[in-house]
Structures are given as C-alpha cells and as structure tokens.
Amino acid sequence: MGSPISPVVANLVLEHFEKKIISHLPFSLPFYYRYVDDIITCVKKENLQLLLTKFNNFHPRIQFTFELEKDGKISFLDTMVINHNDTIILDWHHKPTWSGRYIHFNSYRPIKHKKSVAISLFDRCLRISNPQFLKKNLKLVETTLISNGYPLKFINDIKKYRVDKMYNSIDWNLDSNNQTNVKDKFKNSISIPYIENLSSQIKRILNDEGIEITFRISNTTKLSLFSHLKSVTPNLEKINCVYKIPCRDCSKSYIGQTSQHLKNRISGHRSNIKCHVTDRCALAEHSLSLGHNFDFNNSITLATEPNWYKRIIKEMIHIFKNKRNSVNKRTDIEHLSHLHSNIL
C-alpha cells in the first residue's frame, strides 16, 4: 500500500483471477463489474457460498468478504444500486463519513480550480442519478456548494451549463473534441505556483507562445497541518544539498554544493587544508592565507536538490545573496543569469 504501482499490480492479479475462476464456474453471473478490488455481481442465493469458496480458494492471501443487498439496495463505490421491479436504477451514494467539505470559494486558489469542483459535482450527479432522483441530488449539490461559500449565481451558471450540455449536446464526454484541439495547440506544458493576479498574466503571455500553464498550490494540508512521522535526516548525512560552513575567526562563510553525504564533502575540505590545496578550493585558500579555522561542526544545509543543474543554480543564488560575507570566488557566480540577479 502506498506504492504507485499497487493499483496496477492489483488489476493484473485480479484479471488473472477472473480468467481462472469466473469462466469455469458451474453457473453464469448475470453481470459482473469490478473497480480495482471492489466487485459487484449478481448470483442466486443457493450459489452464493459456492461462489465465495471458489473466490477464496484462488490464493490464501486473497480472501473476499461479501455484502448482500438490503431492501433491494446495495452500494457500490459512489452509486446506490437499486433493484426496482426487476430492473436496475442508480442513485448517488455517500458514505456516512462524507463531510461535504470541498475547496472553499474564498480560499487562495485559481478560479479554475473552484469551477472544477462545481463542475465535477454536477457531472457526477447528472451521470449517476436516475431521473427520479435527479432533483434531490441537484439540490444536494447546490446546498453543498453554498455551505462551502460558493455564490448562488456562480452555482446556477455552472448548473445551467452542465445540464444543458448533458441533454442538448451530442458530445457529452467532457468536450473531447476541444481537448484534442487543446493538445494540438499546446505542445509544451509547465506547472507554476499560483500567485493572484500575477499568475494569470504569465499564463496569458505563455499561452500565446503555445505553452500551457497549470497552477499548483504550495501550501497544502500535507505540508502545513500534519506532522512528519519520518525521522529527520541528520545534517551531516544529507545528500544533494547546498551547504554553508561558517568561519570561526571572522564573519565570513563558505557556500558549496555536493551530491555525496555532507560529512564526506567536509572531509574533503579538511583534506584540502591539510594538503594546502588552494587552487580549486576557496575555503582552503581563506583558511591558509589568513590562518583562520572553519567551524565544520556547525555546517548548515541551505537547500536540498537532487537535480544537478538546479542545485548549481541554487548554490550560485545563495553565494550571490551572501557575497559580502562569502569567501567564495567571483567565478563561482559568473554563470548566474542576469534574470536571477535582477530578482535577487
């Protein structure tokens, strides 16, 4: 669990399971649907125990449980499957833990994200609900959006658009033709942080150049609300980092980057001082020319970046920002773009 490949493996295993078991059952199943490991099917009561035994005998680590319909109803994913006069109709189903909480309209997010929330709720309601349940489910969507701060006009405009698209449009598959046109128009796409007013202007400029822009939010609940249970890596054990080593005898410091463990890079600096290697190490040159000692035990990590090119840029930016108190050579920042220096 938690691995990106888990759903793929689950699908492969269950596809193999279906070929081996279902096709060899001594009775037929009127219907059988599966989403990853959630299954809904129809079977006569007298065959239920045999079906469960066949399923559970496939592999000792794959054991199924079952739930029977109650009052002609059974939930499957977010649908309520209803046996109505020997025909199946669907209603929109919510688990007891459903809170109705979505992105609040006043949250610091692009308006496109908020439109997507409303569109997805209306589309789900329209796609799932049998006509006899449609009115109550549309009302539920409206109430839910209002409770999340969405203006009534905003809700009604999207509701009208999606309802009209469902009943009056030939192409109901989320503008598939337009999606193709967008792919032809935008050959490249990048994701940038969302900054109100500024991001929309950048998007408009880059769209004219055939570059599609998507917005991402940096302040997520994962980063801001929940504690990190993973043990913190000791500073000297960090890799792919930009680091800073202060001088004990003056206010200056040395800034560098390394892909190896920081403790190994510090050992290299110590060796350079010991062997009087000053031609390629500004730290050793400062130490030997002035007789100063660096406080290696209080080295700090300024940034972590596995990509070498990005790490070099971050190193140059930190050297530039601390150039008055840095012992680094001027050549260490000669490749820093003037775009970065103007911002800094």
> Please, which residues have CB within 8 angstroms of residue 175's CB and are 6 or more apart in sequence?
none
* Shared-domain flag, residues 106 and 160: yes
Is residue 245 domain-resident? yes
- Domain-embedded: residue 152: yes
Give the span between the Cα atoms of 84 and 132, in whole angstroms: 12
Domain boundaries, position 210? 176-222
Shared domain for 183 and 168, answered yes or no, is no
In a domain, 195, yes or no: yes
Please state whether beta strands 38-41 and 32-35 pair in parallel, antiparallel, or not at all (unpaired): antiparallel
CB burial of residue 87 (10 Å; 0-12, 13-18, 19+): exposed
Number of domains in the chain: 4
CA-CA distance, 34 to 13, in Å (whole number)? 13
Number of other CB atoms surrounding residue 163 within 10 Å:
15
Residue 227 located in a structural domain: no
What distance lies between CA 209 and its chain's CA centroid?
27
In this prediction, residue 209 carries a pLDDT of 77
Helix/strand/coil percentages in the chain, nearest 5: 45, 15, 35
Say which residues have a Cβ less than 8 Å from residue 1's Cβ, sequence separation at least 6. none
* Per-residue tens of pLDDT for the chain, all 344 residues: 677 888 888 889 889 988 888 888 888 888 899 988 889 998 988 999 999 999 999 888 888 888 999 988 999 988 999 988 888 999 999 988 999 999 999 988 888 899 999 999 999 999 899 989 999 999 999 999 999 999 999 999 999 988 888 777 655 555 545 555 555 555 677 888 888 878 888 888 888 878 888 887 766 665 556 666 667 888 889 999 999 999 999 999 999 999 999 999 999 999 999 988 877 789 999 999 999 999 999 999 999 999 998 899 899 999 988 888 899 887 777 777 765 555 54
Q: Are residues 190 and 240 in the same domain?
A: no
Q: How far apart are the C-alpha atoms of 85 and 130, rounded to whole Å?
A: 14
Question: Is there a single domain that holds both residue 125 and residue 162?
Answer: yes
- Residue 229 domain flag: no
Contacts of 30 (CB under 8 A, 6+ apart): 42
Coil, strand or helix at 172: coil
Same domain? 113 vs 151: yes
Token reading at 160: 């009208």
Residue 215: which residues within 8 A CB-CB, separation 6 or more? 109, 110, 112, 113, 191, 192, 193, 194, 199, 203
Tokens of 322: 């601390």
Same domain for 53 and 100? no
Domain shared by 21 and 52, yes or no: yes
C-alpha to C-alpha distance for 305 and 317, rounded to whole angstroms = 13
Instruction: Provide the pLDDT for residue 37.
Output: 81
Contact (Cβ atoms closer than 8 angstroms) between residue 256 and residue 265: yes
